[in-house]
Amino acid sequence: MAAPMAGRLAALGRRLAAPARAWLPGLTQVRWSRYGPSYLEPVVNKEVNRKPLEELSEEEKTQQELKALHPIKATASNVTSSVFSDPTISKFTNMMMKGGNKVLARSIVTQTLEGIKRKQLEKYYQASEEERESIECNPYIIFHQALKNCQPVIGIYNIQKGGKTYQVPSPLKDNRKRFLAMKWLITECREHKHHRTFMHEKLSQELLQAFNNEGPVIKRKHDMHKMAEANRAYAHYRWW
Amino acid sequence: MLRSVKGVICQGPKLDSGYFLHASARAWLSAAVNQDVQIPAEKPRTVFRTSESNPANHAEQHEGQHYSIPLQEVKVVFPHGLPYRFQMQMKTFNESCLMVRKPALELLGYLKSTNFAHPAIRYVIYGEKGTGKTMTLCHAVHYCAKQDWLVLHIPDAHLWVKNCRELMQSSYNKERFDQPLEASTWLKNFKTSNDHFLKEIKTQQTYMWTKRESTEKGRPLGEVVEQGLTRVKNASDAVGVVLKELKKQCPLGSFRLLVAVDGINALWGRTALRKKDKSANGGAIVTTLSQTGSLFKPRSAYLPHELLGKEGFDTLDPFIPIQVSNYSQREFESCYQYYLDRKWLQHERASTEEGRKELLFLSNSNPWQLERISAYL
C-alpha cells in the first residue's frame, strides 16, 4: 500500500512541477483525478476491519492511523463487500457487456453458472459412488480452471523492422493472458453459435469443454503456441 | 428445561459456533414436540426432511420440513401444474421435495373437514410474487389425489386467455373463441391424472361432434376425452363437455371433485375468451391468484380485490382467503439446509454463517428469490 502511494505522490509531484516549464504546444494534461494526493484507496474487504487490535502488525497500525486522518476515495459502483463477489467474474461480465447493458451481461453469466451447475449435478446424481468424487460440481471452480486452461503461455507481437512486419514471439504478462483467454472464449461463443441457441447455453458448453482441456478455445491457444514456435527465429527482434 | 437440554448439548460433540445456537434452539423446539432428545450433531442435518410422504398425515410438527414424492407418483398426479423452475429442480436433483408450510396445512385442514352435501367452498390463495401459492395448490392437489378425489387441475388460466396462436370460433356460442392447442394438451394431462375415473363416469347426454360422429348417452367419459384428443378441432368443445358433465354429476356423490385453478384472475381480465365460473356441489374449488401472467395489472398488486376486479370478486364471493407469505426464520433455515444437502449451494462461502446471512438479506426470505439466487451460487 505504501509503495504505490509513494509512486503516485512522485507522479503528482512531477505533474505539479511541470507548469514550471514553459508551455509546450501539443502537451495537455489529459489524465487527472478529482482526488488530491492525500486521498486513500477504499478497502472493501470486511475481514480487515474485524481483526482485534492485538493482531495488527506495525504496518497495519500505521495504516489505521492514516485512515483516521485522511479522506478516502469513493469505491467503484461494481465493487461490493459481498462474500460472493469475484473479480474474475466481474471482469468477464464487463467483457461480455455490449452497449452498457450490464443487466443483460450479468444475467447471461449467472445463467451460464447455473447451467454448468445443473449439468454437473445431473451427471453427479446419475453416477455411481466411485465416479462421484471425480465430478466437479462447483461452477466457480470450473470457470476459473477453464480460464486457466485457456491462457496462452507465450504470445505474438507484430514488430516492424526494415519495412516488413514480423510476428515475434514473446512471454505475456498475467493481465494479457487473462484478457486473451476471456476474449477468445467470448468471440468463439459469439461467432460459432447457432442463431437459435442461447448464449448462456453455448458458454456453459464451451466452459465445460475447456475445463476438460478440449474444445475450440484450447485449440486456438495451441495454434498461438505453434505460431510462436514457428517464428522462433525472430525472437531476437524483441527488445523488452 | 432449556438449561437441562443445554447441559446435554454442552457435553455433546464439539460443534461449529455457527450451528451451536441453532442446535440448542431447534433441539428445544423439537424436544418439546417429539419428546425425545436426539443427538445434537444430527439436528442441523435432518431437521429439514421428514419421511412422512402422505399429505394426509402432515401436521404442525412437520412445518418447515420437506417431504419427498416418488417420481412415479409425480408423473401421474402432476402431469402439468408444477412451476417450471420446480420441474427443472426435480430433474437436477432426481427427486421432488415439497416444503410443508402453514397455509398448506390450513388448507388441508379445511379440505379434510369438507361436508360434501353442501355446495363447494371456494378458497382463494393469494400472496405476493414468489411466495409459494402454486406450490401450496400442488400440495392440496397431491393430498386430494391420494384421497382419491377427481382432480380438475388447470395449470395456468392465463395460458387459455392470451397469446393464442390458433383461434377458432366456438361452435357452441358465436361470441366465444377456442384454443385447440391448449385444450388438447390439457385433455392429455387430464387423462394421465384421472385415468381410472374416466372409465367410471358416464355421459348423460348425446353429443354431436360432426354429422357423422357422436357420443351416445351413457358412454364413459374417457371416450369424450379420446374424441377431443383425436380431433383437435373439437378439443375445446370436448373440454367444455367434460366440465359440464362433471358439474352435473358431482352432487350425485359417486366421487369427490376438486377444481384447482391457477391464476384465476385471468378469467375476469380484459380477454376474448369468457368462461363463467360454475357452482359445484360435493367438492371443493381451490384457486390461486397470479400477478405474473395477468394483463393490464400493476406489478405490486397482489390482494384479491385488486387482481380479480369487481366482476371477478363478485362472482367468487364468498370465498375463504388463504394468504401465503415469505419464509419464516425456521422455513428459511430448512430451505437453506435442503439446498446445502442437495449440493445446490456450491460456492465455498455459501455454507458459512456470512453466506447464510447474505442469502437471507438478498432474498428477503422470498422463496422465488432465494431459489433464483442459489441457482448461480
Burial grade of A163 (CB within 10 A; 0-12, 13-18, 19 or more): exposed
Predicted confidence at residue A89, as pLDDT, reads 94
Give B354's contacts in chain A (Cβ within 8 Å): 83
pLDDT at A56: 65
Chain A: nearest CA to B299, how far in angstroms? Answer: 20
Q: Are B279 and B254 in contact (CB under 8 A)?
A: no
| Residue of A110, A122, A125 with shortest CB distance to B376 | A110
Of chain B, the end-to-end C-alpha distance in Å amounts to: 40
- Least reliable range by pLDDT among A78-87, B21-30, B123-132: B21-30
CB contact under 8 A, A121 and B352: no
Residue B155 main-chain phi, psi, to 5 deg: -65, -40
Average pLDDT, chain B: 70
pLDDT in tens, B313-358: 776 667 788 888 888 888 899 999 999 988 899 888 888 898 999 9
Residue A11 C-alpha cell reads as 507522479
Size of interface A-B (CB pairs under 8 A): 46
Q: Per-residue confidence at B291, pLDDT binned at 50, 70, 90?
A: low
Residue A156's pLDDT is what? 92
Distance between CA atoms of B307 and A63, rounded to whole angstroms?
Answer: 58
Q: Is the ipTM above a cut-off of 0.85? A: no
C-alpha cell at B172: 357452441
pLDDT higher than threshold 80 for residue A34: yes
- Asked if B346 and A139 come within 8 Å (Cβ–Cβ), the reply is yes
How far is the C-alpha of B316 from the C-alpha of A38, rounded, in Å?
A: 69
> Of B343, B348, B354, which has the smallest distance from its Cβ to A121's Cβ?
B343
The residue ranges of DSSP E strands in chain B, in sequence order, are: 49-50, 66-69, 96-99, 121-126, 150-154, 168-169, 177-178, 207-208, 214-215, 257-262, 283-288, 320-323
Question: Do A83 and B358 lie within an 8 Å CB cutoff?
Answer: yes
Higher pLDDT, A108 or B282: A108
Distance (Å) from the alpha carbon of B75 to chain A's nearest alpha carbon: 19
Q: Copy the grid coordinates of residue B124.
A: 382463494
CB within 8 Å: B358 and A84: yes
What pLDDT shows up at residue B274? 39
User: How confident is the model over A153-178, as pLDDT tens digits?
Assistant: 999 999 998 899 999 999 999 999 99
Q: Which of residues 98-117 of A touch B (CB under 8 A)?
A: 110-111, 113-114, 117
pLDDT at B10 over 80: no
CA dihedral sign of residues A92, A95, A101, A102: positive
Q: Cβ of A139 under 8 Å from any chain B Cβ?
A: yes
Is A113 in contact with B88 (Cβ distance < 8 A)? no
Q: What is the predicted pLDDT for the residue at B273?
A: 38
The predicted model scores a pTM of 0.77
CA of B373 to nearest chain A CA: how many angstroms apart? 9
Q: How far apart are CA A157 and CA A234, in angstroms?
A: 11
Give the minimum alpha-carbon distance from B341 to chain A in angstroms, rounded to a whole number: 12
Are A121 and B377 in contact (CB < 8 Å)? Answer: no
Chain A residues whose beta carbon lies within 8 Å of the beta carbon of residue B352: 83
A190-233, pLDDT tens digit by residue? 999 888 999 999 999 999 999 999 999 999 999 999 999 999 99
Burial of B42 (0-12, 13-18, 19+ CB in 10 A): exposed
Residue by residue, DSSP assigns A164-233 as EEEEEEEE--HHHHHHHHHHHHHHHHHHSS-TTS-HHHHHHHHHHHHHTT-SHHHHHHHHHHHHHHHTGG
Whether B375 and chain A come into contact, CB under 8 Å, resolves to yes
Q: What is the pLDDT of residue B211?
A: 56
**Which residues of chain B make contact with A110, given a CB cutoff of 8 A?**
375-376
